[in-house]
A and B are shown apart, each in its own frame.
Chain A
Amino acid sequence: MLEIKNLSFHVNQSEPGETGQKTILNNFSYTFERGKFYGITGPNGSGKTTLAKLIMGIHSASSGNLVFEGTDITENSLTERAKAGIAYSFQNPARFKGISFRQLLGIAAQTEDESVLQEIVARVGVCSLDFLDKPVDSKLSGGEIKKIELATTIARNPKLAIYDEPDTGIDLWTIGPMIDLLKKEQKENQTTTLVVSHNKNFLAAADVVLILKKGQFVYEGDLDGAIPMLTNLSTCTLPDLCEGENDVRCYR
Chain B
Amino acid sequence: MLDAIDKELLKKVASLEKIPKGAYNIRKNGKLLGRQSSANITIETNSRNTGINIIIAPGTKNESLHIPVILADVGMTDTVENNFIIGADSDVTIIAGCGIHCGSKKDETHEGLHEFTINENARMSYIEKHYAFGDGKGKRALNPKTSLTLEKNSHAELILEQISGVDKANRVTEANLNEGASIILKENVLTEGNQETLSKASLLLKGKDSSANLIARSVIKGNSRQDLLVQLDGRNKCYGHIECDAIIFDNGKSEASPALRAEHPDAELTHEASIGKIADDQLMKLMSLGLSYDEAVNWIIQGFLRMD
Binding site for B on A (CB under 8 A): 56, 58, 77-79, 82-83, 87-88, 90, 92-99, 103-104, 107-108, 110, 152, 156
Contact = CB atoms under 8 A, between A and B. Distances in A.
A90 B305 contact: no
Interface residues of B, number: 23
Contacts of B304: 97-98
A87 B299 CA distance: 19
B308 interface: yes
Nearest to B285: A94
Given A94-B282, A98-B308, A82 B289 contact: yes
12 contacts: A82-B290, A83-B290, A90-B281, A90-B288, A94-B279, A94-B281, A94-B282, A98-B304, A99-B300, A107-B291, A108-B290, A156-B289
B245 A79 contact: no
A107 B304 CA distance: 17
Interface in B287-308: 287-293, 299-300, 302-306, 308
A79 B291 contact: yes
Contacts of B284: 58, 78, 90, 94
A114 to B, nearest CB: 19
Interface in B63-113: none
B286 interface: yes
Interface string B216-246: 0100000000000000000000000000010
A96 B290 contact: no
A97 B291 contact: no
B282 A98 contact: no
B281 A82 contact: no
- Interface residues of chain B: helix, strand, loop or mixed (majority): helix
A110 B289 CA distance: 9
A151 to B, nearest CB: 11
**Which of A92, A97, A103 is the most central at the interface, judged by chain B CB atoms within 10 Å of its CB?**
A97
Given A79-B293, A92-B281, A98 B306 contact: yes
Contacts of A104: 289
Contact of B303 (A77, A93, A97, A110): A97
Contacts of B305: 98
A156 B279 CA distance: 23
A118 to B, nearest CB: 19
Given A96-B303, A107-B290, 15 more contacts: A56-B288, A79-B287, A79-B292, A82-B289, A83-B290, A92-B281, A96-B300, A97-B245, A98-B303, A98-B306, A98-B308, A108-B289, A110-B290, A152-B289, A156-B290
Interface in B241-297: 245, 279, 281-282, 284-293
